[in-house]
Amino acid sequence: MNIAIVGAGINGVTAAVELAQRAHRVTLLDPGPLPHPLAASTDISKVVRMEYGADKDYTELAEQSLAGWHAWNREFGADLFHQTGVLYLRQGKMQRGTYEWESWKLLKQRRHPLQRLSPPEIKKRFPMWNARKYIDGFFDPEGGYAESARVVMRLIDKAQALGVLLREGTAFHELIEKNGRIRGIVTARGEKISADVVLVAAGAWTHYLLPWLKPYLRANGMPVFHLAPEHPENFRATTFPVFAADTSSTGYYGFPLNRDGVVKIARHWDGREMHPEANERVVNEDEENHLRGFLKLTFPALAAAPIVYRRICLYSDTWDGHFWVDHDPEHPGLVVAAGDSGHGFKFAPLWGTIIADAVEEKTNAWSKKFRWRPEVKPARTEEAARFVERK
């Protein structure tokens, strides 16, 4: 088939690679520059983890993706994925029903080498943590982080080597519909690009490009901070790995010192709904003050560290917290790959297969979970709490 893909973030580029490997003719369009500075795929790092509470579907997806990250490191001859391990600590005991306990239980059943931690062990192994406040948790030595922008660019190079036509600097305007079927797109410059299938993988822009999806998707902004510690040697991965700090209640997670001497800390919470290119897409005073309060409680040595970079990372979220990868039943010839871009990057090695299967109308282990589901409604309060936890 002749396939046009709108969006060259992680969803679009992995789909382009896989579809080209399946002998389809692929055109990949993005307004650019690449990696797009406002895309969720941008930035220096994304967490790669397997912890998804009691959800076996996501856990299995994460396990297979983790193997894919190691395969990509070998294929590209570069450490795009860094296996630092991931640290999960709570301010109270791990108990049945909590994100940490359910993740621990399921992964131990699946024979992963998790390490339970007591307060003395936390203080000894991870001295930058306030062990008086964070008293329980575990360390997963298999996880880590991916250098997100580098990954996207390596995959773009691979796509082009496979024959994908990259149209950087080309923005989507509207779909071409003829005889009840989508036949291509019109660009912002008025150019018509024909296609047998159009795949929209535009992240937080998706429901603005396709307005009928607004009841099902929303763009939520989350604050991201890069800090420069006074004593950077204390924040290397050996004693300060990727972490989730009682994330169900605080929303905070972060990364060890990178090659530029930066510690990245971000917060996943309810967020602020906004257009991807809105003027208010900046970290506000309340968000920065909240970070300082968190640092004072959790990492005292970072409490006064200067913030060298701030950004709002915009997630494309569904109301039930699951991805949305399927044909649009009311627009034959249109496939959408969207939803929950904030936690999707870790699954990048499998995204191409999942999306390409949807394009070819094949089923896989996740097709039912990620299907077109207009019955999903805005989250109630208790659903919203679980939604945050799943991230």
pLDDT tens across 130-144, in order? 999 999 999 999 999
Neighbours of 21 (CB within 10 A): 16
Query: What are the backbone angles phi and psi of residue 73, rounded to the nearest 5°?
Result: -60, -40
Amino acid at 202: A
pLDDT of 66 higher than 90? yes
Q: Mean of the pLDDT values across residues 315-323? A: 90
CA distance to 1, 33, 41, 187, 353, per residue, from 165 (Å):
14, 16, 20, 15, 19
Average pLDDT taken over every residue of the chain? 94
DSSP string computed for 291-316: HHHHHHHH-GGGTTPPEEEEEEEEEE
Q: Mean of the pLDDT values across residues 274-295? A: 95
How far apart are the C-alpha atoms of 308 and 148, rounded to whole Å? 19
300 and 243 together in one domain: yes
DSSP state of 379: P
pLDDT of 383 higher than 90? no
What per-residue confidence (pLDDT) applies to 56? Answer: 96
222 and 86 together in one domain: yes
Q: What is the pLDDT of residues 214-253, one digit of tens each?
A: 999 999 999 999 999 999 999 999 999 999 999 999 999 9
How far apart are the C-alpha atoms of 76 and 21, rounded to whole Å? 17
pLDDT-based confidence at residue 388 (cuts at 50, 70, 90): very low
30 and 170 together in one domain: yes
Amino acid at 381: T
User: Parallel, antiparallel, or unpaired: how do β-strands 115-117 and 81-82 relate?
Assistant: unpaired
22 and 115 together in one domain: no
pLDDT of 43 higher than 90? no
CATH number at residue 237: 3.30.9.10
What per-residue confidence (pLDDT) applies to 86? Answer: 98
Residue with tokens 């409680």: 297
What per-residue confidence (pLDDT) applies to 41? Answer: 85
Q: What is the pLDDT of residues 332-379, one digit of tens each?
A: 999 999 987 557 899 999 999 999 999 999 999 999 999 999 998 775
210 and 289 together in one domain: no
133 and 236 together in one domain: yes
Residue after which a domain boundary falls, among 293, 318, 343: 318
Q: C-alpha angle with apex 220: 388 to 203, nearest 5 degrees?
A: 105
Q: Which two tokens stand for residue 78?
A: 């570069």
233 and 309 together in one domain: yes
How far apart are the C-alpha atoms of 131 and 127, rounded to whole Å? 8
275 and 383 together in one domain: no
How far apart are the C-alpha atoms of 109 and 332, rounded to whole Å? 43
What per-residue confidence (pLDDT) applies to 342? Answer: 59
Amino acid at 237: A
Residue after which a domain boundary falls, among 282, 299, 318: 318
258 and 296 together in one domain: yes
Q: Which two tokens stand for residue 171?
A: 């923005």
Residue after which a domain boundary falls, among 318, 352, 378: 318
Q: Among residues 143, 159, 196, 156, which one has the least CA distance to residue 39? A: 156
Domain total in the chain: 2
182 and 106 together in one domain: no
205 and 226 together in one domain: no
Range of the domain at 306: 46-146+218-318
Express as a percent the part of the chain with pLDDT over 90. Answer: 91
Query: pTM score > 0.75 for this model?
Result: yes
Q: Mean of the pLDDT values across residues 83-98? A: 97
3-state secondary structure of 222: strand
CATH number at residue 16: 3.50.50.60
114 and 235 together in one domain: yes
Express as a percent the part of the chain with pLDDT over 70. Answer: 96
327, containing H or E segment: strand 324-327
What per-residue confidence (pLDDT) applies to 165? Answer: 98
